[in-house]
Chains A and B, each alone.
Chain A
């Protein structure tokens, strides 16, 4: 018989107390021990819970490593220390994160604002990125507009522009969303004729990739539909076509944004790629491998 009032429900005690680690003198621990002695059924249930706890704990502590993380943190730390100790604004190109965008979130809490302050150089990087994005978007928009106009007036063009191609693919992506992920599993079967995923794509364990064959502007295209473990969706369209004006690497900012998706395009040898993702530029960037450290 216990004189301790207001003990939690048995279920709460079973779930919360670990007899092998918690203080045996604690009244809650003693209460649970007494309950388990009196009820073999609850004792069995407790043993099951603890077994599951061990498994769940192990699973939660496991996980992927983030490559180059230590170097990036140390680079940011040294950048912040330089800036604190020296009023000169050193423009520091912080290595871009492999698992996160380099930019800090603005309008964060007070402490985060302080961090932003000590990371002054990040501001310069952000401004330059923004300017690059602005110029890139304006250029891409103009090119896309002209491209679309040309495409609609001429229908078939031997000299396709990058914007025209990218816009057409983006339209196709949005028009065929119902078919997203319904293709063949890339893990089991690769597309013919050497169509391959770009090396610039970031894939995680658990990323699901399927592929479909489509036609864009009378050209065969393979669409790799990618679903990240976090649920983000995007398609990489690959076509064997050399298109003038495509950059050799994926742009860090999308060339085209619609109300639903963001898209960027580039050329890798004989393959032209268009990456279209559902979401904004942050989502777009998550599909790309970041540039390596600048060392």
Chain B
């Protein structure tokens, strides 16, 4: 007799995935404040649409997709421009030589466009294939590949520049 996988409750999803969603949201938005807003919004939306989670073993991917879509919707709103303005101070602020690599990569992520950031996170964080990215974003595979290659190159370039900037003299 085939046993159906039990649908997790929203509380279980929060307990198991909140921190992962938060880290994803932080990489996406570049701000801890926005990351928590986004995380809370993700779970509120998940609670409303729990019935759409057809395969509980893919709950994390489902939640990250909700986060990504919420981010893309929010980013279209003009009020978010302020945050972008604030991040403009990055280059002036100097870089902490003791900053861990994960912070360095956050700085590098901020230098990417939003589309590039989304693409990079779908590839690295969500571990989606080019085919899955194309399906989810509704764009041709060739476009995904060229955008992904450009985004990865831009990320590497920025990371190299940051590493040079903090290298001991």
Contacts and interface: CB of A to CB of B under 8 A. Distances in A.
A246 interface: no
Interface string A1-27: 000001011011111111001110010
Interface in B75-106: 76-77, 79, 82, 86-90, 92-94, 96, 98-103, 105-106
B40 A72 contact: yes
B86 A279 contact: yes
Contacts of B102: 59, 62-63
Contacts of A22: 129-131
A60 B124 contact: yes
Given A69-B18, A205-B103, A283-B86, A108 B77 contact: yes
Contact of B36 (A13, A98, A107, A283): A98
Interface in B145-169: 145-146, 148-149, 152-153, 155-156
Interface in A51-83: 52-53, 56-57, 59-66, 69-70, 72-74, 76-77, 80-81
A208 interface: yes
Nearest to A230: B31
A21 B152 CA distance: 18
A104 B37 contact: yes
Closest A-B pairs by Cβ, 9 of them:
A100-B36, A99-B36, A206-B103, A15-B149, A12-B145, A231-B90, A231-B89, A57-B124, A16-B145
A289 interface: no
Given A16-B148, A111-B45, A73 B93 contact: no
A66 B35 contact: yes
B89 A28 contact: no
B14 A227 contact: no
A181 B47 contact: no
Contact of A100 (B32, B105, B131): B32
Interface residues of B, number: 74
A73 B14 contact: yes
A228 B136 CA distance: 34
Interface string B124-146: 11010111000000000110111
Say which size band chain A's interface belongs to: 35 or more
Contacts of B39: 66, 69, 73, 100
A187 interface: yes
A115 interface: yes
A239 interface: no
A57 B70 CA distance: 22
A283 B32 CA distance: 12
A16 B14 contact: no
Contacts of B114: none
Contacts of A115: 41, 44-45
B72 to A, nearest CB: 10
Contacts of B20: 61
A133 B143 CA distance: 49
A128 interface: no
Given A8-B146, A12-B146, A97 B36 contact: yes
A146 interface: no
A7 B99 CA distance: 41
A100 B40 contact: yes
Given A59-B101, A77-B43, A99 B35 contact: yes
